[in-house]
Chains A and B, each alone.
Chain A
Amino acid sequence: MREQPTAVELLDIVAEFLRAEVLPALSGRTAFHTRVAANVLDMVRREVALGPGALVGEAERLRSLLGSDGDVADLNHELCERIAGGDVDLFDADLLDHLWKTTIDTVAIDQPKYATYRRATAGEPGDA
């Protein structure tokens, strides 16, 4: 379904409404929580926009890393078991590449203003 406005546009306008119109009318604890609520909507908007692509990349890397099939939850479970069991070299280049890429994609959704993320992605496309 591709109804208009899109989910991303709806989340965007609700967050804007909370910040521009609701927040100035509030104070104290309610104002603080409203600001947090607008941030949460931004996070959901980024997940709607970026999540599906990130998930595809994560699943592809996991399959190639583990040489097995399954959904991302199963594959992550298997990866955790292999790491904990000592079956993989901690500093294997493909493993580190996967952990870094997956973490970067997650922070891009959760908190792209986080300083460590900005430093790690400086100079890349989409660098804010």
Chain B
Amino acid sequence: MDDASDRLAAAETALATALQGVVGRLYGAGAQIKALQRLSGGAMQELWAFDVPTGDGVRELILRRSPGGVAKRQVPGTGMEMEARVLRLAVAAGVPAPRVEYAMTPSDGLGSAYIMERIPGETLAPRILRGPEYAQARTRLAFQLGAAAAKIHRIDVDAAGDLNRATPAESVASAYERYRALGMDRPVFEWAFRWFRDHIPSADFKPSVVHGDLRTGNIIVGPEGLRSVLDWEATHVGDPMEDLAWLCIPPWRFGELDKPAGGVGTREELFAGYEAESGQKVDPERVRFWEAFGSLRWGLATALMARDFQAGDRSVERAAIGRRTSENEIDLLAILAPEGRAHA
């Protein structure tokens, strides 16, 4: 073994030892961790699956943890502690989401992390979108996602505590600052930013807990339909229509262009699910604003990866993703200026 794999093995042993301590305190001194393994999902956070056999059956669990137990950027209103807090409120509000078993404290020795139940099912978008075993699920998934979003937006904002908040105008302004900081002249981005500034949605909405990354890829699906909403790291307080719109941005359709709701259904089905659960009418123009803005946000994220790569964060994958900004630019034009294509 080389040094790197030695270090990795030592870190894994330390993690297993600390986790065993926590599990003993949670489920009784005799409870033992079985089948601990690192999962490949979770680009930003560590994910570990493990089992704990107890008197009344095997508990199937997930440990979600900041890389090495240390949050990469200490941003107020984000992090594992926030996720665990919001997840508990989400489950209480009826959102299909994993039950939090335990949020780590510093004395547990695992850093910033929490344990939640492991829900079986499919997360890979191509299988959910095209697998024959999910044909039944696809007939109701868009409706169910709309209903799940409505339940998320029922979470009590005050109980959710310290979350990031932004008005639509502030979201546009801070995205523009991030764009300018990149030092890239991108006319389509400048064009879109001006459009956004001219079309800021009215402040006439109830600031709500917004999941922030609700999309195919961040949900668990079974043959019968939606089982769980995952990845609560972008949760913030904002316009609830953001969630419906983000789910519809073209990258999350994974090629199923005519099924805007996450590549599985129509906007009408999504909105019907939302309206049935919330009793609130969806304003499609508002969703369109956030959908275009979502394309821009994702484009900015890929442009940031290009800069990170050039600044020395070298990987083939990062370099390749850095070249995907133009996909979001064509989406922006297709959403906001489809008529311009008639002349091109």
Residues of chain A having any CB pair with chain B under 8 Å? 32-33, 36-37, 39-40, 43, 73, 76-77, 79-80, 83-84, 86, 90-91, 93, 95-104, 106-107, 110-111, 114-117, 119-120
Given A83-B187, A115-B255, A116-B257, CB of A36 within 8 Å of CB of B317:
yes
Tell me the smallest distance from the CB of A11 to a CB of chain B, in Å. Answer: 15
Q: State whether the Cβ of B333 lies closer than 8 Å to any Cβ in chain A.
A: yes
Given A83-B191, A84-B190, CB of A116 within 8 Å of CB of B340:
no
For A36, list chain B residues within 8 Å (CB): 316-317, 320
Interface size class of B (residues with CB under 8 A): 35 or more
Q: Is the CB of A110 within 8 A of B323?
A: yes
For A103, list chain B residues within 8 Å (CB): 188, 326, 329-330, 333
Q: Is the CB of A116 within 8 A of B187?
A: no
Knowing that A86-B194, A115-B250 are A-B contacts, what are 13 other residue pairs whose CB atoms are under 8 Å apart, sorted by A's residue number? A33-B317, A43-B320, A80-B186, A83-B187, A93-B343, A98-B187, A99-B333, A100-B337, A102-B187, A103-B330, A114-B327, A115-B256, A116-B331
Q: Is the CB of B187 within 8 A of A76?
A: yes
Tell me the smallest distance from the CB of A7 to a CB of chain B, in Å. Answer: 18
Q: Is the CB of B316 within 8 A of A40?
A: yes
Given A36-B316, A43-B323, A83-B190, CB of A117 within 8 Å of CB of B330:
yes
Q: CA–CA, A112 to B76, complex, Å? A: 40
Q: State whether the Cβ of B193 lies closer than 8 Å to any Cβ in chain A.
A: yes
Q: Is the CB of A101 within 8 A of B187?
A: no
Q: Is the CB of A80 within 8 A of B340?
A: no
Given A33-B316, A93-B340, CB of A99 within 8 Å of CB of B323:
no
Residue from B250, B256, B339 within 8 A of A116 (CB atoms): B250
For A104, list chain B residues within 8 Å (CB): 330, 344
Q: How many A-B residue pairs have CB under 8 A?
A: 109
Residues of chain B having any CB pair with chain A under 8 Å? 185-188, 190-191, 193-195, 198, 250, 253, 255-257, 315-317, 319-320, 323-324, 326-327, 329-331, 333-334, 337, 339-341, 343-344
For B253, list chain A residues within 8 Å (CB): 115
Closest A residue, CB atoms, query B335: A116
Q: Which 7 A-B pairs have CB atoms at the shortest separation, nearest pair first? A: A96-B340, A100-B344, A106-B326, A83-B190, A115-B257, A76-B185, A80-B190
For B250, list chain A residues within 8 Å (CB): 115-116
Mind listing 25 A-B residue pairs with CB under 8 Å?
A32-B317, A33-B315, A36-B317, A36-B320, A40-B323, A80-B187, A80-B190, A84-B194, A90-B191, A96-B343, A99-B188, A99-B191, A100-B337, A100-B341, A100-B343, A103-B188, A103-B329, A106-B329, A107-B329, A110-B323, A111-B323, A115-B256, A116-B257, A119-B257, A119-B334
For B326, list chain A residues within 8 Å (CB): 103, 106-107, 110-111
Q: Is the CB of B327 within 8 A of A107?
A: yes
For A96, list chain B residues within 8 Å (CB): 333, 337, 339-340, 343-344
Tell me the smallest distance from the CB of B242 to a CB of chain A, in Å. Answer: 21
Looking at A84, A95, A99, which has the most chain B CB atoms within 10 Å of its CB?
A99
Q: CA–CA, A40 to B315, complex, Å? A: 12
Q: CA–CA, A85 to B330, complex, Å? A: 23
Q: CA–CA, A37 to B331, complex, Å? A: 25
For A77, list chain B residues within 8 Å (CB): 185
Q: Is the CB of B344 within 8 A of A101?
A: yes
Closest B residue, CB atoms, query A43: B323
Tell me the smallest distance from the CB of A80 to a CB of chain B, in Å. Answer: 4
Q: Is the CB of A84 within 8 A of B193?
A: yes
Given A83-B194, A91-B337, CB of A99 within 8 Å of CB of B316:
no
Closest A residue, CB atoms, query B340: A96
Tell me the smallest distance from the CB of A24 to a CB of chain B, in Å. Answer: 19
Looking at B256, B317, B323, B324, which has the most chain A CB atoms within 10 Å of its CB?
B323
Q: CA–CA, A96 to B342, complex, Å? A: 10
